[in-house]
Amino acid sequence: MANFQFPRQTGFYSGKVRDVYTISDEWLVMIASNRISAFDVILPRPIPFKGQVLNQIAAYMLHATEDICPNWLVATPTPNSAIGKKCNAFKVEMVIRGNLTGHAWRTYQSGKRVLCGVTMPEGLRENDFFPEPIITPSTKADVGHDEDISRDEILKRDIVSIKDYEVVEKYTRALFERGKDLAAKQGLILVDTKYEFGKIGDTIYLMDEIHTPDSSRYFYADGFEERQKAGEKQKQLSKEFVREWLIENNFMGKEGQVVPAMSDEWIDVISKRYIELYEKVIGEYFVPQDLPEEKNFEIITSALQEIGAVDG
């Protein structure tokens, strides 16, 4: 993936999935790459069209929730790019869970009943609904693994002020309810997800991506209860299947472990699963687009001029 140099560029950061360009210290250009990560490790091979899928789902969901809280997004000039406001990010991710799945289930299965300071009730089975969604924040690590953290610890360490945390908590619950409603219309259950927030002045903004397969987990609603009663695995749309494949091949991102080889067939399976999720979540057919890097750069630069981020 090209490393662009935009007019008035003041910063560049290459994350696990996105390349982020800072313009005039006020704007961000985010390019969603086809990289895929799991257990905080970038896997060795890219997934065709994954960046486009993530970018377009995120844009759709940000527009569908902009009445709940302000968000950073201003424009999506190309299939895999987004331009928006640069915020001072809070150093926590707001993870919210409606069902006992994934990390929460692994914690529960180990015998623990407290996750991020939240007590999980006894007698639950994997994938059962919690009585009400639980918020289980994690630290946002610049290097290494994100770590679970409780609300009390966030406030005690003054990572986020109590005033701001209460707003962010309220936004998180409202966004999750909207996400569940949007999913239900498509025959899906939004199981868990995460949100990131930041500030410009006194205003709190929703940042980054929301309700994508990289930040969220979806179950198919049809047959959910029957599968639960029978003790069967739920049919899901998320990248959990990639994590499960890695675990089966003895990789969980721990020191000394080696990422298993990814065959062409497996890459194709992952790509198709991402496209399937797009079509299920959005309710529209996915139209693959693969712009040359020079064209991408040209269109994004023109969009930056249109919003006044750079000189025309």
What digits encode the pLDDT tens for the residues 132-188?
999 999 998 665 567 999 999 999 999 999 999 999 999 999 999 999 999 999 999
pLDDT of amino acid 140 = 80
User: Is 254 inside a domain boundary?
Assistant: no
Q: Identify the burial level of 285 via C-beta atoms within 10 angstroms of its C-beta, where 0-12 means exposed, 13-18 middle and 19 or more buried.
A: exposed
Q: Indicate whether 206 and 284 sit together in one domain.
A: no
How many domains does the chain divide into?
Answer: 2
| DSSP H helical ranges for 10-71 | 50-64
Residue 128 burial (10 A CB sphere; 0-12, 13-18, 19+)? middle
- Alpha-carbon separation of residue 72 from 68, 102, 271 (angstroms): 13, 29, 28
Q: Inform me whether the pLDDT recorded for 294 exceeds 60.
A: yes
With contact defined as beta carbons under 8 Å apart, do 134 and 120 qualify? yes
Q: Please report, as a single letter, which amino acid is at residue 126.
A: E
Neighbours of 42 (CB within 10 A): 16
For 169, the domain range is 89-242
In a domain, 300, yes or no: yes
Task: Kindly compute the dihedral angle of the four CA atoms of residues 221, 56, 208, 199, in this order, to the nearest 10 degrees.
Answer: -110
b/e map 145-165, b = 16+ CB within 10 Å:
eeeebbbeebeeeebbeeeeb
Residues 130 and 177 in one domain: yes
pLDDT at position 40: 83
Q: Is residue 261 part of a domain?
A: no
Question: 213 and 170 share a domain?
Answer: yes
Residues 218-242 have a mean pLDDT of 92
The pLDDT of residue 247 is above 70:
yes
Helix (H, G, I), strand (E, B) or coil at 157: coil
Whether residue 134 lies inside any domain: the answer is yes
Same domain, 111 and 231: yes
**What local confidence, expressed as pLDDT, does residue 222 receive?**
97
Q: Is residue 1 part of a domain?
A: no
Same structural domain, 183 and 69 = no
Q: What is the CATH number of the domain that holds 80?
A: 3.30.200.20
The set of residues, in sequence order, having a beta carbon less than 8 Å from that of 178 and lying 6+ positions away, is 64, 65, 68
Contact (CB, 8 A) for 55 and 32? yes
Instruction: Please give the pLDDT value at position 144.
Output: 58
Q: Three-state SS for 92?
A: strand
The per-residue DSSP string of 188-245 comes to EEEEEEEEEEEEETTEEEEES--SSTTTEEEEESTTHHHHHHHTPPPPEESTHHHHHH
pTM over 0.75: yes
Phi, psi values for residue 193, rounded to 5°: -165, 180
In a domain, 123, yes or no: yes
Are residues 219 and 232 located together in one domain of the fold? yes
Q: Same domain for 124 and 228?
A: yes
- Return the pLDDT at 195: 98
- For residue 32, name the pLDDT band (cuts at 50, 70, 90): very high
Same domain, 71 and 204: no
Please tell me whether residues 112 and 81 are part of one structural domain: no
